[in-house]
Amino acid sequence: GAVRMGKCFGKPDRNAEPQETSPIYSGVEYTPSREQRKPVNQVKKTVGMGNDVSKQRLDAASKTGIYNITGKESKEFPKDCLKVSNLRVLTLDKCQLLKVPPEISSLAASLQKLMLPNNKLRSLPAELSAFSALQQIDLSGNALESLPDCFAAMQKLKDMTLASNQLTSLPASIGSAKNLKVLDVSNNRLSSLPAAIGDLVNLEDLDCNSNRISSLPDTMGGMKRLKRLNACHNQLAAGAIPGALMRDTPLDSLRIEGNPLAGLKDEDGYAEYEKRAKTHELKNIDQRVRTGDLSLGLGTAEQYAAMHKT
């Protein structure tokens, strides 16, 4: 039987902060010491406390390595964060940022997470090419039209979210991020993916849904760890999916809803893909049964029984 086409799979919350971080105070994750508690309470009652809050944020970042501003419509990049020599996590979310200054290069040696979602960025500085310690990037919800060739040094990068921008292409250097595991370029204006994307041999999860992609590059057949591909709502037609992608990779979840391509049955490599997809679905159902999740729909339960008969 044909493999059931489900809904586009969901994405993890990439804005989540590490568990060890302390509660948020005035937009920054900071827990005052016992000696500091009294003056902090006094500051909270003060009307004009902008400078005090900035100092507290900077002090907290120096101690924790985490600098976080959420929901403050300043439009200006907070350059005081550049003073933190050991900064590991920089989060500026919903700040209406228009630009990232070249001086951000001062954080290149230590920064592991660069989280700048939901701003108004149209471009990024070329200085990002020096960020060799980065493990996660979130630039979703901006207005980026292009990306700099900045990925060659990012050998530790594992997770990159570029969703909901205005990207029309991806730079070939993206294939240099050899340890990337999760890439989300959904909801952009991409008409194609670069051939170099096939160099991402450790990529497991690729989400390119809601673009204008008409075909996938043959090089994707070399993505030896790719498990999930969401290509919903593009312009894929018959023959647009490389046979090697379905035949030679471990891909077991391929979503194509909302494309001119009505199904996968007649595509090259479908037989091999179907076997993996069925095994994957059966394992998921087995896991739900073992864990006591009995909320199986009738169709799924019937499929489960049929699979066990074969």
Query: Mind listing the pLDDT tens digit for each residue in 192-237?
Result: 999 999 999 999 999 999 999 999 999 999 999 999 999 999 999 9
pLDDT digits (tens, 9 = 90+) for 7-57: 454 455 555 544 444 333 334 444 555 444 444 333 333 334 457 788 899
Any residues with CB less than 8 A from the CB of 297 and at least 6 apart, and which? Answer: none
Average pLDDT over the chain, rounded to an integer = 83
Q: Per-residue pLDDT averaged across 121-138, rounded?
A: 97
Confidence of residue 283 (pLDDT cuts 50, 70, 90): confident
Per-residue pLDDT at 293 = 66
